[in-house]
Amino acid sequence: MPRRRAQGEFVKLGIVYHMPFWTNPDGSVWELEGSFARYVDSLAPYFDEISLCVPVFDLPQPSGTRVRAANVRLAPLPFFDGPKQFYIRLPRILGPIIRFVRGIDMLHCRVPTPAAYPAFVAARAASKPVFLLVVGDLHALLPTMPYRGMKRLLWRAYTAMEEFFIDRMAKGALTFANGRALAQKHERPGHPVVETKTTTITVCDIASRTDTCGGASIRLLAVSRIDPRKGLRCLPEAVARLRADGRPVALDIVGPAVGRPGEDERSAILADALRLGVADYVRCVGPVSLQELMARYATYDLFVLPTLPGEGIPRVLLEAMAAGLPVVTTAVAGIPSLIVHEQNGLLVDTPTAAAVATSLALLIDDAALRQRLIRGGYETARGLTLDAQAARMTAAIADRLGVSLTPLGAST
């Protein structure tokens, strides 16, 4: 049985990940993108302190998401933006990682992330308990990576190394995985994996509208990093097909272009829109903070994410469902373990412009189907809030690792 936290006992969780943070002059802790900050806040009530081993900006950024929990601290790493920068700086990074592990009682690695394996090795050497959350599949991304020549060989080598590291960690630690596909991938005899569904939503985020598509224009929303792995190139043609058939749609793509491949992809999307005559109806909005994004969802009619393999379960699907947006997405990776076709969303097998346009047209034309998907989306969202996820995860941690993680202040 899990042991109760004794009076005066202090349990400090360390989390290692690559999302960048910073500290404002008032001491508040902020994250650039926002979803990870919400995840940290959901775990904070179960621990006396959480230490985040993450890259840290030298200066505050103009926008982001604040960590609300008062018991969260930063264990700064020299700033890196991707695996290449991490490994170039590795000699400077190893020392801070080792010191970070020495100062915690339990380690949580959210993977893939390049800093995870050094932290895992240090924690095991110190006999400290570890749990993982696997949120993506680098190997599944290989066919869609835009690199050629030496860059492609280097990316393949990096992918093989990360896959090896994650496999080693999963064999030696309690492992959670985002969606059924990732859970099945990492399960081994004697090493079961706990399936979970990463989320950013709270009960307060769940809307109450019962229908959409009632205006003169149908507003489509895609939320995604812009890079070749996300399947966004089919969207301008899907918009053109819908408008040619008399459906007055306009699309916003919200999210950052990732590196040079992402910038090239954004340029190609906009060039396709111009060539197809829908440049006035396809916008790349760029990144917005999570707080702003959560408010924006309510201003759209339909959500579309034609993503390719390599995902766990994109957290934006739950955000859209919580906002009352009917969803069209792809039946890849862990998505079918969240989206049930014609119950809480529509799935396409292959994200072609024709398939996406057909599904969106069905939603625009069929009010009963839209309303059914909205109701199903709300039902799904209510069972997969941050609080519910944190409670399930910490119950599994307590059961498997033998430490009571009753929320601080709760009755024992």
Structural domain for 379, as ranges: 204-383
Q: Please write the tens of the pLDDT for every residue from 61-76.
A: 988 899 999 999 999 9
pLDDT at 385 over 70: yes
- pLDDT tens digits for range 132-181: 999 988 888 777 777 788 888 888 888 999 999 999 999 989 999 999 98
If asked whether residues 369 and 260 sit together in one domain, one would say yes
Q: Which tokens go with 136?
A: 């993506």
Q: What is the pLDDT of residues 276-320, one digit of tens each?
A: 999 999 999 999 889 899 999 999 999 999 998 877 899 999 999
If asked whether residues 171 and 248 sit together in one domain, one would say: no
Share of the chain above pLDDT 90, in %: 77
pLDDT band at 404 (very low <50, low <70, confident <90, very high): confident
Domain presence at residue 3: no
Asked whether residue 176 falls in the same domain as residue 256, the answer is: no
Q: Which pLDDT belongs to residue 411?
A: 43
Question: Are 62 and 47 members of one domain?
Answer: yes
**Tokens 């979970």 -> residue:** 196
Q: Please state, for a pLDDT cut of 70, what percent of the chain lies above it.
A: 96
236 with 88, same domain? Answer: no
Mean pLDDT of the chain: 92
Instruction: Tell whether 181 and 308 lie within a shared domain.
Output: no
> Does residue 46 belong to any structural domain of this protein?
yes
Alpha carbons 227 and 259: distance in angstroms, whole number? 8
Locus of tokens 């990463």: 198
Does some domain include residue 209?
yes
How many Cβ atoms from other residues are within 10 Å of residue 297's Cβ? 21
pLDDT of residue 409: 54
Q: Do 138 and 153 have their domain in common?
A: yes
Average pLDDT over residues 216-245: 95
Residue 244 and residue 311 in one domain: yes
**Predicted local distance difference test score (pLDDT) of residue 10:** 65
Residue 407 lies inside a defined structural domain of this protein: no
Look up the CATH number of the domain holding residue 318: 3.40.50.2000
- Residue, of 68 and 260, whose pLDDT is higher: 68
Rounded Cα–Cα distance for residues 378 and 212 (Å): 14
Do both 274 and 160 map to the same domain?
A: no
Q: For residues 103 and 236, state if they share a domain.
A: no
- Domain assignment present for residue 2? The answer is no
Q: Are residue 367 and residue 242 in the same domain, yes or no?
A: yes
Verify that 263 and 376 share a domain, yes or no.
yes
Domain assignment present for 277: yes
Q: Is residue 410 part of a domain?
A: no
Is the confidence at residue 4, as pLDDT, over 70? Answer: no
- Residue 28: predicted pLDDT: 95
Number of domains observed in the structure of the chain: 2
Least confident of 148-152, 200-204, 252-256, 288-292: 148-152
From 111, 274, 301, 79, select the one nearest 209 (Cα to Cα). 301
Quick check: 323 pLDDT over 60?
yes
